[in-house]
Structure 1
Amino acid sequence: MITAEKRLLLRLVRMGLGNGGVCDLAERIEWNALLDLAVQQGVPAIVLDGVKDVSPSPFAAGDRLCKMQWVGMVMNMERQYAAYEKVIGELAAFYQQNGINMMLLKGYGLSKYWPVPNHRPVGDIDIYLMGDGNKVWKKADQLLHERLGIEVDNGHHHHSVFTYRGVMVENHYDFVNVHSHRSSRWIERLFKRLAASGHETYMLDNGARIILPSPLLNMLFVARHSACHFAAEGMTLRMLCDWVLLARQRKDDIDWDEFWKICVAMGMAKFVLCMAHIAHRYLGFALDVFHVPAVYSNFGTKEAELIERVLEDCFSSRHKVKEPAGVGYIIARYKLWKGNLWKHRIVYTDSVISTFLAQIKSHLMKPATIIGN
């Protein structure tokens, strides 16, 4: 059930994204609870942007401490963004000096589509390196170790991991985990082909150049990333905002027929349609932004219950639950996987049995992924 508190959060996100709307605030709002919810969803700054558009100020005198805490959090996010930007520039320059081009996935590149870029939370940095040869990522990791003394962790599927100036970096050699689902293999081949066939460049303040995925690859990759998170654990409003803001800003640069054709082939068309309808219904985005094919014109009516279920799942409390380690982690993940089978059916073409076997094999290949944190 979408509670009044969640509806208020959605209205404020809509206003923070510049999509208008009227926000009838209750006489007494539990601002601390709303802040906690906004943080869980990765949208504290955009919600505060929405609150600023409410006149007169909805904060009562007794809410001053919460307001100061909220503003302080957003200011800290802005400082983190500046530091994050500097790290990206230094890494890009290092790779460029060694004949390697750095493609940014998600994160910073997507923040440029937000109304206020530094109001998108930052986390780790995801990169995909391009250059001569098939093992560019491995060469890059060796250079990091030899020249900067950085230790690289290779205990993960589809990317290595290292820390640079306190920021975790995932160096992707694959866009998706090709071991977790059989269907991921052809998806990976497609993503690599799209990456090789075209991309965009962006110059940073330090003169370094970064590469960004083409609009079509970006739309597909971000949608797939969100879908996989949704099926495995859960999607947040920040992930949803990333995709819908990208769609709105680049709608004229995307081959939408190809996009929807690929979504169907991947098995995630229903999930992507749910994202589009949530954005339309709750965040004020025009549905024609997403160029939904005519065959799905009645989706909003026929699948209204599914759309609400996907949205409600975004607010699941598991986003803030710390998972156990060791055997407890395995048991917790199995229960989560079993409870998420309905989500699997709107994200993947793989059968449940095929997925179960593939994931057992995947974890055995990288034992560190079995024991959790």
Structure 2
Amino acid sequence: MSNQLKDIFFQLLRIGLWGKGRLSMTQPMTSEDWNTIRKYAINHTVEGIIYDSFSFLEEQQLPPQSLRMKWVVRMDNIERQNEKMNTVIAEQFTLFSAMGLRPILLKGQGIASCYRIPNHRTCGDVDWYFDNNGYAEARDYLKKNSIKFRDTVGFSLDYAWRNICIEHHKKLFDIRSPFKLNYLRRLKEDYRDLEQTLTIEDTSIRLLAPELQLLQVNGHILKHMISFGIGLRQLCDSARLYHTSHTTINKEDLLEMYTKSGIIDWIHLLHKILVEYLGLPIDEIPFPYPENLDADWMMTEIWYSGNFGFHDERFEDGKIINAISSLPEGPKRLWKNFKRYVKYAPQEVFFFTLVHSYSRFIGKDSD
């Protein structure tokens, strides 16, 4: 994609994300330009956000009618998938709660509620965390009811429920340094009384306190950037979370969380990208980032990698080593990202590699 077209892409993304602004371009876009925009929107799972920009465009700026119809069909599918996912979330939360478990919904639809049009966020999996020993009890329920599941890398499991992918997580935060575990446990307890709820299909669903939700979501972004990359949707999630919570969060506490978790230098990079590329108002960032901070290189990596690294054209013809990853050139990509991010989150980069390997070969439940 040319730099000029890339600039238009980010203009459209900001307009759709915030519901304001006007598209500025020096010449009309061709059908080929629009097809390229659509391709990258799908690669980054932000096609719903780009679509939401159309109502702010002038008639001559809109994509061709035939492409708009394809986009409408895709939006209908996204909306239906969101509705189906909400039904499953309400059903599972009710089921697990009746079993005496205490599920908390992570990411996903909890973040979608922060968007202008929640049903236009491309949804992924349903992610559950359980208080106390709930993970083991929920896993035992799946076994007893012959629900096929798979224990996965990172101390999690996944399965299909009404054709929706469900994940259960033993760990609340994607912070892998063993030196941070006691601190993270205390955080979870300290913020228990500040949990939020979200009503989905007349069911009150538990969410983390806003500060913990930001730590959890941004830590998840970092985890994927250390491995194979992440797309723009997850950055949009972070931006919308900050936007909806910036007047209520304790900013000093959040700064302390990022600092004690060992990721504050990387958080500064993320914040600069949210402001300069996604248009998050700088006064909605909870604390200032250093002047003259260079984050463009990280945006370049995000741009190329696409959704969880699946669309990185730089490696599409590379070898696949399944023992490491199903993505092309897995070892090379991991090593490159190790070198890129070790300066900004040294403990996380180092221990992510160890814990990732441990959980792949040793740490999975084996019964």
Q: Which 4+ stretches in 1 moved above 4 angstroms?
A: 351-359
Equivalent position of 2:340 in the other structure: 343
**Alpha-carbon distance between aligned partners in 1 of 2:239 and 2:108, rounded to the nearest angstrom:** 14
> How far apart are the structure 2 equivalents of 1:28 and 1:2?
12
**Which residue of the other structure, out of 251, 257, 269, is the alignment partner of 1:256?**
251
Residue pairs, 1:1-373, within 5 angstroms = 3-18=3-18, 20-25=20-25, 26-29=27-30, 30-59=33-62, 63-130=64-131, 134-146=132-144, 148-176=145-173, 181-183=177-179, 185-186=181-182, 188-194=184-190, 196-205=192-201, 207-293=202-288, 296=289, 299=290, 301-303=291-293, 306-317=294-305, 318-320=309-311, 324=320, 326-327=322-323, 329=325, 332-350=329-347, 356-366=353-363
Partner-residue secondary structure (3-state), 2:128: strand
CA distance in 2, matches of 1:363, 1:23: 46
Which deviates more from structure 2 when the two are superposed, residues 323-332 or residues 236-245?
Answer: 323-332
Partner of 2:237, secondary structure, is helix
What is the CA distance between 1:315 and its match in structure 2? 0.8
Q: CA deviation at 1:302?
A: 1.5
Q: Aligned-pair distance for 1:347?
A: 4.6
Structure 1 alignment gaps of length 5 or more: 369-373
Deviation at 1:222, TM superposition (A): 0.8
**C-alpha separation in 1, matches of 2:280 and 2:349:** 34
Number of aligned residue pairs: give it. Answer: 353
TM-score (norm. length: structure 1): 0.85
Deviation at 1:129, TM superposition (A): 1.9
1-structure distance, mates of 2:146, 2:348: 44
Of stretches 208-217 and 357-366 in structure 1, the one that deviates more from structure 2 is: 357-366
> What secondary structure, in the 3-state scheme, does the structure 2 residue paired with 1:210 have?
strand
TM-score norm. by structure 2 comes to 0.86
Q: How far 1:215 moved relative to its partner?
A: 0.6
Which amino acid in the other structure matches residue 52 of structure 2? D
Matched position secondary structure for 1:267: coil
Please state whether the residue corresponding to 2:277 is helix, strand or coil: helix
How far apart are the structure 1 equivalents of 2:339 and 2:245?
Answer: 31
RMSD: 2.7
Residue range with higher mean Cα deviation, 82-91 or 19-28: 19-28
* Aligned counterparts of 2:118 and 2:44: Cα–Cα separation in 1: 17
Distance 2:262 2:344 in 1: 5
- Distance in 1 between residues matched to 2:193 and 2:181, nearest whole Å: 19
Matched to 2:136, the amino acid is: K
Q: Distance in 1 between matches of 2:193 and 2:156?
A: 22
Q: Deviation at 1:324?
A: 2.8
C-alpha distance 357-17 of structure 1, shift in aligned 2 (>3 A)? closer
Partners of 1:357 and 1:223 in 2: CA distance: 21
> Which range is displaced more, 188-197 or 89-98?
188-197
Farther-moved stretch of structure 1 (44-53 vs 153-162): 153-162
Contact 1:89 1:208 in 2 (8 A): yes
CA displacement at 1:233 relative to structure 2: 1.6
| Structure 1 Cα separation of the partners of residues 343 and 121 of structure 2 | 28
Which sits farther off after the overlay, 358-367 or 266-275?
Answer: 358-367
Contact 1:269–1:346 (8 Å) recurs in 2: no
Query: 2:321, 2:329 within 8 Å by CA — same for their partners in 1?
Result: no
Decide whether the 8 Å contact of 2:105 with 2:207 is kept in 1: yes
- Give the 3 Å change call, closer, same or farther, for CA 335–155 of structure 1 in structure 2: same
Distance 1:33 1:269, change over 3 A: same
- CA-CA distance at 1:68 after TM superposition: 1.3
Cα offsets for 1:107-158 (capped at 9, x unmatched): 000000001001111111101123xxx3212112222343x43123234432
Shift of 1:326: 2.7
Shift of 1:281: 1.9
Determine the C-alpha separation between the residues in 2 that align with 1:182 and 1:94. 33
Structure 2 CA distance for partners of 1:196 and 1:243, relative to 1, 3 Å:
same
Which segments of 5 or more consecutive residues in structure 2 lack a partner in the other structure? Answer: none
Closer, same or farther in 2 for the Cα pair 1:129/1:360, shift >3 Å?
closer
Point out the more displaced range, 328-337 or 159-168: 328-337
Report the Cα offset of residue 249 of structure 1.
0.6
Q: Shift of residue 184 of structure 1?
A: 5.4
Cα pair distance change 1:187/1:74, threshold 3 Å? farther
Aligned-partner residue type, residue 247 of structure 1: Y
